Amino acid sequence: MNAALPASLLSRRSLLRTAGLAGAALMVPLSGCGAPPAAQNGVTTLRFMQNKPEVVDHFNEVIKDFEALNPDIRVVQDFNEGNFVPGLVRNDPPDVVTRGFAQATADFVKKGIFADLSDMPVAKTIDPKMQELVNSWGQYNGTETSALPFSLAAAGVIYNRDIFEAQGVSVPTTWDGFVAACEKFKAAGIAPIYGTYKDPWTLAQGMFDYAAGGALDVGEFFTKLNAKGAKITKDAPESFANSFGPALPKMLQLASFSQNGAASKNYADGNAAFAKGQAAMYLQGPWALSQLVAANKNIRLGSFPLPVTNNPEDTKARVNVDMALSITRNTPNMAAAQRFVNYLLEPSVVNTYNEKNAAFSPLTDAPAVSNPQISGLNAAVQEARYFQGAVTYFPPSVPVNNYIQSFVYSKNGEQFLAALDDEWRRVAERTAV
């Protein structure tokens, strides 16, 4: 070994040199092709990140039509939403983004990631009440419009029309009517509601959000709660303990109408069973409709907003802005991005998308929804009798869905609400500035 030392030293040095050269050679051409120039031969390439993998095909068609009308713009669609934050880190985010609008997106808005769209002419065509759903999450600088709603999902009770007709039950408009309908199904040996407790989110968006949304003004409650911040205690009038109380007995009553063994069923089980007619009602939103029809193409479905009081005027639907359009603030292709957003919000484009996907168009003069699966929610949406689900206001660091699940099993409402107050204060203390 010692005799060979000079030789090995020499070759080690030359080896390092070769490795260094090879490394440099690898980097140079790559850095050249890293970020393709946005404008090539006068054609601007837009990157469009869209948050719903199941509608990729639809948007490919939309993009094809757009490119035919705008030959100077090429649009590349990306459904890999996980790449959004890396895009920001790279300082090279997509130009046009759609996102489901809730807590997580609101965080981006507060940091000024998205451009102000309030000056765009299409912003005036949007129903102000739906725009308010987006703005209520907070506006950058207090006035900016960071996102324009594109699709509104309204959730209520999905019901099996055949079972309702066979039992002679009409769509209930009051809580008492709803309970009577459930009793009737139960007496006939039909499970009134299909419960899927194994997936806690189904309990959260279903019975918890519906009962809470009917019992109190959810948006106002969280505005006050946020204003109170870390000073919240369970004795304060703004607390969960003092506001959500009336909703809980109704929630437990809903739970008591679930089929036996609901605790061991998940969302996929629920879709399969409900499609086979194993229950009369299903507390799910429009996203379940395509799954139900896929499992049984002959099923006749309808939806109605769950009445939580005995005044039909109070009945509200749970909505969420399923897709909201934004343009990233630092995009080098602002003009092209605005033209694309304008095109997407043309009535023919946005109304067609929503009609096809069992959702509601955000345009003020959108035609009434004709899809019988969701037409029962028409009145509530048109009269703006809707709320955003209470669970969507929780920061991800509060495992609210699991608290709801454990409440449904333990039925201990006091403990449940006290836990929510504690969790809220804990997070507020930690994030207070």
Partner 1 sequence: MTASTLAASKHLTPDAPARSNRRSNREGFRINWWLTALMLAASLTVLLPLYFTVAMALKSPDQIGTGTGLAWPNPMNWDNFAAAYVATNFPRAFMSTAFVTVLSVLGSLASSSLVAYAIARNWNHRFFRGSFVYLLSAMFIPFPVIILPLIKQTALLGLDNPAGVVFLHVLGGISFNTLLYIAFVRSIPVELEESARMDGATTWQVFRKIIFPLLAPMNATVGIFAFLGSWNDFLLPQMLIADPALQTLPVVQMLFQGEFNTNYSLAFASYLMAMAPTLVVYILAQRWVLSGVMRGAVK
Residues lying near partner 1 in the complex (CB under 8 A)? 1, 3-4, 7-8, 11-12, 15, 26-27, 30-36, 52-54, 56-57, 76-80, 82-83, 85-87, 89-92, 100, 267-268, 271-272, 275-276, 285, 287-288, 290-291, 294-297
Q: Report d(CA 127, CA 398) in Å as an integer.
A: 32
> CB-wise, 124 or 276, nearer to partner 1?
276
The helix/strand/coil state of 172 is coil
Tell me the closest approach of the beta carbon of residue 34 to partner 1, in angstroms. Answer: 3
> CB-wise, 22 or 368, nearer to partner 1?
22
> CB-wise, 268 or 368, nearer to partner 1?
268
Structure tokens at 80: 């890999």
Q: Report d(CA 264, CA 140) in Å as an integer.
A: 44
Q: Report d(CA 400, CA 212) in Å as an integer.
A: 14
> CB-wise, 49 or 190, nearer to partner 1?
49
Structure tokens at 23: 């490394």
Contact present, 377 and 303 (Cβ < 8 Å):
yes
Q: In the 3-class helix/strand/coil scheme, how is 405-417 assigned residue by residue?
A: HHHHHHCCHHHHH
> CB-wise, 31 or 370, nearer to partner 1?
31
Structure tokens at 91: 């300082």
Tell me the closest approach of the beta carbon of residue 294 to partner 1, in angstroms. Answer: 4
User: How do beta strands 157-160 and 96-101 pair?
Assistant: unpaired
Tell me the closest approach of the beta carbon of residue 36 to partner 1, in angstroms. Answer: 8
> CB-wise, 79 or 234, nearer to partner 1?
79
For 384: left if phi > 0, alpha if psi spans -120 to 50, otherwise beta; the answer is left
> CB-wise, 35 or 368, nearer to partner 1?
35
Tell me the closest approach of the beta carbon of residue 45 to partner 1, in angstroms. Answer: 10
Q: Report d(CA 96, CA 63) in Å as an integer.
A: 13
> CB-wise, 247 or 337, nearer to partner 1?
337
Distances from the Cα of 257 to the Cα of 239, 283, 344, 378, angstroms: 29, 11, 43, 26
Tell me the closest approach of the beta carbon of residue 135 to partner 1, in angstroms. Answer: 23
Tell me the closest approach of the beta carbon of residue 246 to partner 1, in angstroms. Answer: 29
Start-end of H helices in 140-246 = 161-166, 175-187, 200-203, 209-215, 218-228, 240-243
Tell me the closest approach of the beta carbon of residue 372 to partner 1, in angstroms. Answer: 20
Q: Report d(CA 206, CA 390) in Å as an integer.
A: 11
Q: Report d(CA 432, CA 351) in Å as an integer.
A: 42
Tell me the closest approach of the beta carbon of residue 17 to partner 1, in angstroms. Answer: 13
